[in-house]
Amino acid sequence: MTHPGYRAIIAHWAIPMAIAAIAAFLQAAGSIETWRLERGLALAEPWRLASGQLMHLSWMHMLMNLAGLGIVWALFGRDLQARQWAAAIFACGAGVNLGLLGFSPDLDWYVGFSGILHGLLAAALLVRIFRRPTVLTALVLIGLAAKLAWEQLGGGEADTAHLIGGTVVVDAHFYGALAGAAWGGFLILIRRRAP
């Protein structure tokens, strides 16, 4: 029989555990070409819009993204309800897909969870700063904005590219963060309008 405390922990971590399981399955099951988001195939094979976000260039790439998800979840997991997190993942994924397909015409294909991860962090930081503002939360939000700006100016890609085994698509981070900020703003607006 499962202890009630364990059930609460499992329930709390269900979303990141599901993401980790799907990402590991995709990584083990097939080649990047099978699962990646590919510009020419996005409409014909729309499942790539999801699988491209969960497939990675390498096991190290996947582990880095899942570690980031674990950190975000440990720090902010209780700030949103499970359905709000699920909607945030969907919104950030849609933002990454729309951004890459609509505004990054030179990009032929993409894999990785980092765009969504940047969006989840942006959403969580905005919600936290409006609910319980702290200097630390403000500094992390400023740090995220500085990181995104640095990446857009061409900084810091080489070391990460070596670790993950390919090019870092910094536009995905930017589009994900924009979508996450929009989702966080939406949650704040809804909360303020609630009686």
pLDDT, tens digit, 9 for 90 and up, residues 55-113: 999 999 999 999 999 999 999 999 999 999 999 999 999 999 999 999 999 999 999 99
Q: What is the pTM of this model?
A: 0.93
Judged against a pLDDT cut of 60, whether residue 148 lies above it is answered with yes
- Give, in words, the CATH class of 4-193: mainly alpha
Q: Are 112 and 65 in contact (CB under 8 A)?
A: yes
Reported as half-sphere exposure (CB side, CA atoms, 13 A), residue 42 has a value of 20
Q: Are 98 and 53 in contact (CB under 8 A)?
A: no
Confidence of residue 183 (pLDDT cuts 50, 70, 90): very high
Domain boundaries, given as residue ranges, for the chain: 4-193
Q: Are 190 and 126 in contact (CB under 8 A)?
A: no
Place of tokens 């070391």: 159
